[in-house]
Amino acid sequence: MLYFVGLGLGDEQDITLRGLQVVRTCRTVYLEAYTSLLCFGLGPSAISTLEELYGRPVVLADRETVEQGADAILEEAKSSDVAFLVVGDPFGATTHSDLVVRARNMGVKVQIIHNASIMNAVGACGLQLYRFGEAISIPFFTETWRPESFYDKIKSNRLLGLHTLCLLDIRVKEPTLESLCRGKKEYEPPKYMTVNTALEQLLEVEENQKCNAYNGNTICVGLARIGNLHPMEDEMLAIFSIQSHAE
C-alpha cells in the first residue's frame, strides 16, 4: 500500500491520529520537501523530531527524488507499506495527484489521509471560502523569465466578484544554471517569496498588461505562517487574496 499522509500546516503535532498510526506501521517513510515546508524547516533536527514521534526513519524526498525517482517509490509500495508525507493536504499540489494516478496504473494500492491545507486555512483572514475563485501560483521572476499567465485568472476572478488565492514561490534545492551547463549539480540558497515581492511583481505585470485587473490601491490581505503557532524569523510561506469588486 502507498499511503499519502497529510501533515497539516504546523509542526509535527498536526498529523492526524489515523495518519500517525499508519506511519508507525510503514516500512519506509518519505517526507516530500519541495512543494511546501514544515514550520521548523527541513534540517537534521527537524527530521529527528519527526522520527522521534513516528518511531520510524524518515527519508527526505526532494524534487529530484519525487520527479526522477518516483518509479522506485512505487515499486517498493508493490510489496510493502510506504508512507509519502505531504505538508498540508496530499492533493495540495498536482505532483501528488500525478503520483496517485501512476500508482494506480501500476496496480499499487493507494490510500489518502487528508489534513488541513492552505486552501481552507486561508479562511483565517475572514474572507469566505466559497467566495474564492481559481487559485494561482506566483513564481520568482528572473532576468530572462517573467511569466504573466496568472494575470488572466486574477482578472477573470475579479470580473466574477471572487477573491484570488495567490500561493507564493519557494525555491529549495534548486540547481544553478551554471551547474546544469557543467553537468555537476550545485544548488541555489533556499529562497522564500515575501508578500512585498509578490506585490512588486504583480504591479509590474499590471503595468505591462494594462487591463486594470488591479492597481496600487487594490485592497489585499497578506498572510504568512498560517497554522504555525510558533514565532519564526523568516517567512516560510505567504499568500494574499485580492479583494473582489463586490466588497
Q: For the segment 171-210, what is each residue's pLDDT rounded down to a tens digit?
A: 877 767 676 677 777 777 888 899 999 999 999 999 999 9
Position 240 scores a pLDDT of 45
- Chain segment 52-106, per-residue pLDDT in tens: 999 999 998 887 788 788 899 999 999 999 999 999 999 987 888 989 999 999 9
Position 42 scores a pLDDT of 67
Would you say residue 246 has pLDDT above 50?
no
Q: Is 117 annotated as a binding residue?
A: yes
- Chain segment 114-153, per-residue pLDDT in tens: 999 999 999 988 999 999 999 999 999 999 999 999 999 9
Distances (CA, A) of 83 to 14, 56, 109: 16, 11, 12
Residue 166 — pLDDT band, cuts 50, 70, 90? very high
Position 46 scores a pLDDT of 85
Position 77 scores a pLDDT of 96
Distances (CA, A) of 51 to 17, 43, 56: 16, 13, 5
| 83 three-state secondary structure | strand
Residue 245 — pLDDT band, cuts 50, 70, 90? very low
Work out the average pLDDT over 208-219.
93
Task: Count how many Cα atoms sit within 13 Å of the Cα of residue 27 in the half-sphere of its side chain.
Answer: 10
Would you say residue 233 has pLDDT above 50?
no
Lowest mean pLDDT among 42-46, 107-111, 177-181, 234-238: 234-238
Q: Is 92 annotated as a binding residue?
A: yes
Strand partners, 59: 30
225 Ramachandran zone, left/alpha/beta (phi>0; psi -120 to 50): left
Residue showing cell 500561493: 167
Residue 37 — pLDDT band, cuts 50, 70, 90? confident
Would you say residue 238 has pLDDT above 70?
no
Question: Distance between CA atoms of 110 and 1, rounded to whole angstroms?
Answer: 6
Q: pLDDT: is 132 or 230 the higher one?
A: 132
List the grid coordinates of 90. 496530499
Estimate the crossing angle of helix 195-209 against helix 150-159, to 10 degrees.
Answer: 80
Q: Are 216 and 242 in contact (CB under 8 A)?
A: no
Q: pLDDT: is 227 or 56 the higher one?
A: 56
**Residue positions counted in the chain:** 247
Strand partners, 170: 192
Q: Are 178 and 159 in contact (CB under 8 A)?
A: no
Question: Distance between CA atoms of 163 and 243, rounded to whole angstroms?
Answer: 5
Q: Is 168 annotated as a binding residue?
A: yes
Percent of the chain residues topping a pLDDT of 90: 63
List the grid coordinates of 153. 485568472
